[in-house]
């Protein structure tokens, strides 16, 4: 009976090809290939199916190849299965028509044929799906490795402008506008903010991410700084651990600088789910540019303050910061801290004694201000 159909393989392939281009948009768009290319592939698949049905062929190499090639072409699995269904439907129609052609096949033989065709349909379909998914997974891993490498280049020091533009284009990230870098703590390569790119996309913020053994790092394209509040809201809703966020910056080639600030903030909150953005002022940036030197110098400036019990030390430093914020007024500082101005003066005097600095000398005050910025910006555990 297959012999009756054999001469009509070209006609079956014509009908299948016509339906593929008429019913499946990805074929009509030319994503799979030209009509001639698809027709040749259909012919090979029809002949392959008939060969297996007749027992002339037992391997499934053609089905494996088709599944892999369609995955490489980016054809959705649903469309691949639709094309598979169309092909087997047309081929089966041709078999039935041949079976009815005089002399007609006995009913028992048609039943056996349908059973064998059904078995073949399932076997080839399962093989096709497995090959497609295996290839798609391989492609996904390859693209993720490539993407991670590109993000690493973007975050590297001393990257040239031309390289940044090229990498941004490959990552589908704008090279212009406003950006932030996010660093989230993780352990053993576990994603600490699952689907964060989808959540950010919902507020029109594009992002690229790189997951390492101990952190998840992302570069976010805000387009405009006004979206920063919405970004922080998203991160707070989905954080499973501490997250450090850089200041908003531009241009994109400053991503490495921003990453350093994000990681600096991250280290301040171990074991919490705090989301904090680096406070962007000149003194904080100065501290962050040379944290080791800033800390060593600040130890000398703060002197005996660091030897006090933690609660007393923190109270005195808080008072000093409030005094600076209040323009050096004990009255205003007392109002800010809800205490008597004489209490403020007493605390300030204790700071002078502990540090050996005088708050009447502008140079000493400047040193203490710088040291306090280092205290608030550098990780607490690094002071131990």
Helix (H) or strand (E) holding 294: helix 291-302
Residues 6+ apart with CB under 8 A from 227: 178, 203, 204, 205
φ/ψ (deg, to 5) at 287: -60, -45
The token duo for 146 is 């490539």
Domains identified in the chain and CATH numbers: 2-143 (1.10.490), 161-280 (3.30.70), 289-383 (1.10.10.2840)
pLDDT in tens for each of the 384 residues of the chain?
455 565 578 889 999 999 999 999 999 999 888 999 999 989 988 888 888 887 777 778 888 998 999 999 889 999 999 999 999 999 888 888 888 877 777 888 788 888 888 888 899 899 999 999 999 988 877 878 888 888 889 888 878 888 888 888 889 888 888 999 999 988 776 888 989 999 999 999 999 998 887 889 999 999 888 899 999 999 999 988 899 999 898 889 889 988 988 988 888 777 777 898 887 666 666 666 667 777 788 888 888 888 889 889 889 999 998 999 899 999 999 999 999 999 999 999 999 999 999 999 999 898 898 888 888 777 665 565
Going by the DSSP 8-state scheme, the letter that residue 274 receives in this structure is -
The token duo for 90 is 């047309």
Residues 6+ apart with CB under 8 A from 193: 184, 216, 235, 238, 239, 240, 243
Residue bearing tokens 């007749």: 54
Q: What is the pLDDT of residue 382?
A: 58
Residues 6+ apart with CB under 8 A from 187: 214
Closest by CA position to 279, among listed 267, 269, 264, 290: 264
Q: What is the pLDDT of residue 228?
A: 92
Q: What is the pLDDT of residue 282?
A: 65
What does the alpha-carbon distance between residue 45 and residue 249 come to, in Å, rounded to a whole number?
55
Torsion over CA: 184, 187, 192, 197 (sign): positive
Q: What is the pLDDT of residue 289?
A: 64
Q: What is the pLDDT of residue 27?
A: 92
CA atoms within 13 A on the CB side of 49: 33
The answer to whether 116 and 49 are in contact (CB under 8 A) is no
Q: Mapping DSSP to helix (H, G, I), strand (E, B) and coil, where does residue 30 land?
A: coil
């Amino acid at each position: 009976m297959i012999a009756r159909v054999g001469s009509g393989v070209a006609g079956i392939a014509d009908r299948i090809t016509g339906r593929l281009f008429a019913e499946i948009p990805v074929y009509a768009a030319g994503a799979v290939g030209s009509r001639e290319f698809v027709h040749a592939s259909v012919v090979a698949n029809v002949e392959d199916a008939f060969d297996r049905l007749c027992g002339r062929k037992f391997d499934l190499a053609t089905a494996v190849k088709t599944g892999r090639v369609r995955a490489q072409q980016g054809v959705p699995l649903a469309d691949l299965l639709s094309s598979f269904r169309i092909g087997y439907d047309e081929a089966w129609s041709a078999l039935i028509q041949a079976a009815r052609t005089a002399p007609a096949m006995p009913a028992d033989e048609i039943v056996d044929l349908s059973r064998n065709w059904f078995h073949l349909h399932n076997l080839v379909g399962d093989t096709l799906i497995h090959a497609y998914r295996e290839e798609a997974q391989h492609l996904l891993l390859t693209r993720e490795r490539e993407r991670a490498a590109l993000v690493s280049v973007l975050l590297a020091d001393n990257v040239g402008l031309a390289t940044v533009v090229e990498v941004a284009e490959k990552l589908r990230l704008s090279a212009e506008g406003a950006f932030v870098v996010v660093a989230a703590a993780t352990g053993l390569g576990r994603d600490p903010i699952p689907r964060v790119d989808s959540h950010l996309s919902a507020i029109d913020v594009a992002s690229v991410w790189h997951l390492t053994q101990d952190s998840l790092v992302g570069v976010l394209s805000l387009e405009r700084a006004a979206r920063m509040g919405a970004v922080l809201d998203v991160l707070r809703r989905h954080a499973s651990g501490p997250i450090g966020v850089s200041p908003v910056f531009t241009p994109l080639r400053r991503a490495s600088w921003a990453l350093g600030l994000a990681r600096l903030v991250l280290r301040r909150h171990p074991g919490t789910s705090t989301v904090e953005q680096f406070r962007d002022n000149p003194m904080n940036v100065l501290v962050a540019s040379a944290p080791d030197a800033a800390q060593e110098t600040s130890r000398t400036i703060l002197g005996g303050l660091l030897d006090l019990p933690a609660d007393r030390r923190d109270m005195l430093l808080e008072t000093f910061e409030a005094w600076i914020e209040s323009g050096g007024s004990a009255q205003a500082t007392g109002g800010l801290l809800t205490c008597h101005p004489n209490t403020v003066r007493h605390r300030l005097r204790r700071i002078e004694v502990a540090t050996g600095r005088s708050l009447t000398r502008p140079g000493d005050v400047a040193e203490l201000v710088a040291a306090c910025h280092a205290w608030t910006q550098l990780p607490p555990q690094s002071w131990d």
